[in-house]
Structure 1
Amino acid sequence: MSMPPPSPLAALRDVLIGTVVEDEHDPVSPAIGYGLSLAEAASAHVTIQSSSWCLFGTDSWLGGASDDGLTVIDRRLDALARAYAETAAGAAAQAGLVCTRDTPRLPYPEVVHRLAAEARLHDLTVLDLDPRGGILSLETIEAALMTSGRPVLAVPRTHPAFGGRRILLAWDGSLQAARAASEAMPFLRAAQAVEIVSVGDADDLLATVPGAEFARRLARHGVAVAVSDLPVAGSIADTLRGHAGLFRADLMVMGAYRHSRVREFVFGGVTRSLLMDAPVPLFLAH
């Protein structure tokens, strides 16, 4: 009897799930559940890095003086990070996944740098996206994107488990968009429906590589793809958010930070706007 072909997701061999505990009242990380279900779908090795933000100590950002109250908080955060990692490792074992775990207790900004460095060793990093509830969320995503050379999957709390049947590919003809699509190829090939969406007026779309031309490349890889050119409705980010709902997307693939992070912070930008209000998990590459 012939064996069924492996899922395209099997190209993912190493998945890093990263979470940073910075508050005792943090809800359970959505990245953990999402990352584990993705790793199970891909039969990938999973690394869980559950870090705690060390608020006090000789090398912390608050200095070296002693403070019993902050020391107690640090211990609680460390215990919570370890509990998250232990629970996740147990779930991975039940799913038959090979899992390693790391629970560093680090001050700012080392906690961000440690996760970004680990991201370089994996095919994909799955991170929490919680811009209103955690001050490290955006910085961690940005650091992993800009310094690891690897893609990041940012998961909002509305999506605790992986889904990839319907994928929206945001296309602006840039090198970042092309790289994101290339990195996301296992997801695109495994999806039931992929839509390439370009947003802008006629002059904008004529000045770039058309989505229809890129669609031919995806079709040669066996991707079931359609193409849409949309006028801007409010902003590019708003247009993409609205179309993700209409398309019933499970995942959005996009190039990140076509402009500098400083420019996006000061003037706004598509990447930062979507990170602040993501309708679905974002697969990002820079």
Structure 2
Amino acid sequence: MSMPAPSPLAAFRDILVGTIVEDERDRVSPAVGYGLSLAEAAGAHVTILSSSWCLVGTDAWLQGTADPGIGVVDRRLDALARAYAENAAGAAAQAGLVCTWETPRLPYPEVVHRLAAEARLHDLTVLDLDPRSEILSRETVEAALIGSGRPVLAVPRSHQAFAGRRILVAWDSSLQAARAANDAMPLLRAAGAVEIVSVGDADDLLTTMPGAEFARHLARHDVAVTVSDLPQDGSIADTLRSHAGLVRADLMVMGAYRHSRAREFVFGGVTRSLLLDAPVPLFLAH
């Protein structure tokens, strides 16, 4: 009797789920639920890194005040981070997953650097994308991308569990886009439908199909792929955001920071715009 073929998702052998608690109002981490359900689908080992951003020791003036209230807040955030990790470990055990967890309590910016260093040791890192903590959330994603050399899955609050039947691949022929698509190959092979989407000027789209050659590459990997060239309607990010909603995409794969982060900060950019307002979870690679 032949054994069933393993899921393409089994290529992800270890997944890091990272969350940083900086506010006592933080009660939900979409990355935890999403990362655990993805790890269950892949049969992967999962590591929970639930960090708390402590205030004591981050600045000389804070040390000088010796305000006991600051220490109380730090202990509460540490307790919340531990509760995240313990609950996630319990859910992982119920799902039959092998899970390890850590709850580092670190000042800024060490709390971000610690997560980026851990990301190097895993196939994929799943992180929160929370507009309520916009700066820390975006910086954590950036640090993990730039500092680890591994892909990152950034999850908005509206998506609490993994889904990957319909995936968009944002294609601009850049090396970042090619790397993202190849890093996401297990997800693409497992999907029911993959659409390569290129956004350009209407005149250009009459004579070019920038995603067509890459589509052949994906097809050779047994990916059910189609190609769409979209005229730019507003910004490129707006066009991708609108199309993701139109086709009810579960996930978007894209290269991150084709331009420098400094240039994107000053002039804006597709990556920065989508991190600020992501319609679906973003699979990113740099």
Show the counterpart of 2:232.
232
CA, structure 1 residues 23+204, in 2 after alignment: closer, same or farther (shift >3 Å)?
Answer: farther
Distance 2:207 2:150 in 1: 28
Deviation digits for residues 220-254 of structure 1, max 9, x if unmatched?
Answer: 00000000000000110000001101111000000
Deviation digits for residues 193-245 of structure 1, max 9, x if unmatched?
Answer: 00000001156669998201100000000000000000000110000001101
Distance 1:255 1:96 in 2: 33
What TM-score, normalized to structure 2?
Answer: 0.96
Gaps of 5+ in 2: none
Distance 2:59 2:15 in 1: 29
Aligned-partner SS, 1:135: helix
Contact 2:20 2:50 in 1 (8 A): yes
Q: Which amino acid aligns with 1:258?
A: R
Show the counterpart of 1:215.
215
What TM-score, normalized to structure 1?
Answer: 0.96
Contact 2:202 2:232 in 1 (8 A): no
Show the counterpart of 1:12.
12
Distance 1:17 1:150 in 2: 13
Gaps of 5+ in 1: none
- After TM superposition, give the deviation of residue 266 of structure 1 in Å: 0.9
Aligned-partner SS, 1:64: helix
- Are 1:186 and 2:186 an aligned pair? yes
Say how many residue pairs are matched. 285
Contact 2:51 2:81 in 1 (8 A): yes
- After TM superposition, give the deviation of residue 134 of structure 1 in Å: 4.7
Contact 1:49 1:102 in 2 (8 A): yes
Aligned-partner SS, 1:133: helix
Show the counterpart of 2:154.
154
1:82-93 superposed matches below 5 A:
82-93=82-93
Aligned-partner SS, 2:229: strand
Deviation digits for residues 103-156 of structure 1, max 9, x if unmatched?
Answer: 000000000000000000000000000133353100000000011000000000
Higher deviation after alignment, 208-217 or 157-166: 208-217
Higher deviation after alignment, 221-230 or 127-136: 127-136
Aligned-partner SS, 2:111: helix
Contact 2:116 2:148 in 1 (8 A): yes
- Are 1:64 and 2:63 an aligned pair? yes
Show the counterpart of 1:284.
284
CA, structure 1 residues 97+105, in 2 after alignment: closer, same or farther (shift >3 Å)?
Answer: same
Q: Which amino acid aligns with 1:52?
A: S
Deviation digits for residues 244-271 of structure 1, max 9, x if unmatched?
Answer: 0111100000000000101111110000
Distance 2:26 2:60 in 1: 21
CA, structure 1 residues 213+9, in 2 after alignment: closer, same or farther (shift >3 Å)?
Answer: same
Show the counterpart of 1:176.
176
Contact 1:173 1:208 in 2 (8 A): no
Contact 1:172 1:208 in 2 (8 A): no
Distance 1:200 1:75 in 2: 51
Q: Which amino acid aligns with 1:64?
A: Q
- After TM superposition, give the deviation of residue 64 of structure 1 in Å: 2.2
Higher deviation after alignment, 139-148 or 197-206: 197-206
Contact 2:13 2:43 in 1 (8 A): yes
Show the counterpart of 1:120.
120
- Are 1:247 and 2:247 an aligned pair? yes
Contact 1:14 1:45 in 2 (8 A): yes
Show the counterpart of 1:139.
139
Distance 1:182 1:272 in 2: 22
Higher deviation after alignment, 151-160 or 132-141: 132-141
Q: Percent identity?
A: 82
Aligned-partner SS, 2:131: coil
Q: Which amino acid aligns with 1:110?
A: E
